[in-house]
């Protein structure tokens, strides 16, 4: 089997590449020229195609001759020019779909997000729920990209499977856990709603599902939510990080409306002053870290016989062991 991975130097893509190599796949990666991880990929016998997902010829070169394409590339922040969301998240997905049809791939596995199902708290959401915009660029452009993918499935018979990860964490994470740890150590973290629910997704559980989907024909035309099978409150998650680092847990709470108003003001000022660095608060962050959403992974269990191999407790423990090795975090605790 030959697999192409877009976003291969990212957190999910990087772990997926390693898992594919262990499964004896031949792996090809579409990587931007100058990416610092290019030599590491080549050292691991990954075929590197230098190019941009916004360039159709680059994408065609990457997917040509591949059995399966894992599309992991996207704008993964909530603070970027909308032009980039349009060009990379949406335009890049269109290029991957078009190239995959051209190359006659056997499967396109597209990484979406649980965010696409909206912000309803009154129900347990599953894959049957309609896509609901947030009024925020990250989830809303993900929805636009997903709509393109399903259109290619309907109109051009592209064999698509969609995956909806919840909060992905694990060793090597460069955003979620390290940023929370940094805010906890600096005493910059605040909460704006009690008992906020998060659904952790240990990266190896996600990759395990991706590998199954790549070869299971029952997955074609379907989408699957994925998490560790249980939720935890944001406060408990952060308390675990604080205990790992030997610092006092954060207990500061402010009203939700105060946090949201502050985010609106910060975003306005940052945009007015053309500040590229992400503000401390954004409206997306306030919504995302202030919700009590519920998600079911019963479909993957029922249809594919999949279940998380690593419990949240074990995944969190492994991640904390890794976190303790990071000089960037440990130096701030001293």
Q: What is the pLDDT of residue 330?
A: 54
**Residue with structure tokens 């259109």?**
151
Q: Using CA atoms, how far apart are residues 179 and 190, in angstroms rounded to an integer?
A: 13
CATH code for the domain in which residue 84 is found:
3.40.50.720
Q: Is residue 211 part of a domain?
A: yes
Structure tokens at 168: 């992905």
Q: Is residue 110 part of a domain?
A: yes
| Residue stretches of the chain with pLDDT short of 70 | 328-334
Total residues belonging to the chain: 334
Q: Residue 271 class from Cβ within 10 Å (0-12 exposed, 13-18 middle, 19+ buried)?
A: exposed
Q: Is residue 57 part of a domain?
A: yes
* pLDDT tens-digit map of 64-114: 999 999 999 999 989 999 999 999 999 999 999 999 999 999 999 999 999
Q: Is residue 129 part of a domain?
A: yes
Structure tokens at 148: 């393109």
Taking alpha carbons only, the member of 334, 321, 21 closest to residue 171 is: 321
Q: Is residue 27 part of a domain?
A: yes
Q: Is residue 140 part of a domain?
A: yes
- Total domains in the chain come to 1
Say if residues 316 and 200 touch (Cβ distance below 8 Å).
yes
- Active site members: 142
Q: Is 33 helix (H, G, I), strand (E, B) or coil?
A: coil
Q: Residue 64 class from Cβ within 10 Å (0-12 exposed, 13-18 middle, 19+ buried)?
A: middle
Q: Using CA atoms, how far apart are residues 310 and 334, in angstroms rounded to an integer?
A: 32
* pLDDT tens-digit map of 42-54: 999 999 999 999 9
Domain ranges, residue 14 = 2-170+201-229
Q: Is residue 325 part of a domain?
A: no
Q: Is residue 188 part of a domain?
A: no
- Considering the entire predicted model, what is its pTM? 0.94
For 178, half-sphere exposure in the C-beta direction (CA atoms, 13 angstrom radius) is 15
């Amino acid at each position: 089997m030959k697999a192409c991975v877009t976003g291969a130097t990212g957190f999910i893509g990087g772990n997926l590449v390693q898992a594919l190599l262990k499964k004896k796949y031949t792996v090809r990666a579409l990587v931007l020229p100058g990416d610092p991880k290019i030599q590491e990929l080549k050292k691991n016998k990954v075929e590197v195609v230098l190019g941009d997902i916004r360039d159709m010829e680059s994408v065609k070169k990457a997917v040509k001759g591949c059995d399966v394409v894992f599309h992991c590339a996207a704008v993964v922040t909530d603070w970027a020019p909308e032009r980039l969301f349009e060009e990379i998240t949406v335009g890049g997905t269109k290029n991957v779909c078009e190239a995959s049809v051209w190359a006659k791939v056997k499967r396109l596995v597209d990484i979406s997000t649980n965010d696409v199902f909206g912000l309803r708290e009154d129900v347990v959401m599953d894959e049957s729920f309609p896509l609901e915009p947030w009024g925020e660029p990250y989830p809303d452009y993900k929805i636009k990209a997903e709509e393109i993918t399903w259109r290619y499935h309907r109109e051009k018979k592209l064999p698509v499977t969609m995956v909806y990860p919840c909060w992905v964490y694990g060793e090597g994470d460069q955003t979620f856990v390290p940023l929370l740890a940094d805010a906890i150590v600096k005493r910059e973290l605040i909460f704006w709603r009690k008992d906020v629910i998060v659904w952790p997704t240990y990266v190896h559980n996600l990759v395990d599902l991706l590998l199954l989907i790549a070869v299971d024909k029952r997955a074609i035309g379907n989408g699957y939510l994925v998490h560790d099978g249980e939720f935890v409150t944001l406060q408990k998650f952060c308390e675990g990080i604080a205990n790992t680092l030997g610092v006092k847990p954060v207990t500061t709470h402010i009203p939700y409306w105060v946090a949201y108003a502050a985010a609106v003001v910060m975003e306005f000022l940052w945009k007015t002053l053309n500040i590229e660095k992400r503000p401390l608060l954004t409206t997306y962050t306030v919504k995302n870290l202030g919700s009590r959403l519920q998600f079911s992974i019963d479909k993957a269990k029922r249809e594919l016989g999949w279940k998380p191999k690593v419990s949240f407790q074990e995944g969190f423990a492994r991640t904390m062991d890794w976190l303790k090795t990071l000089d960037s975090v440990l130096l701030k605790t001293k």
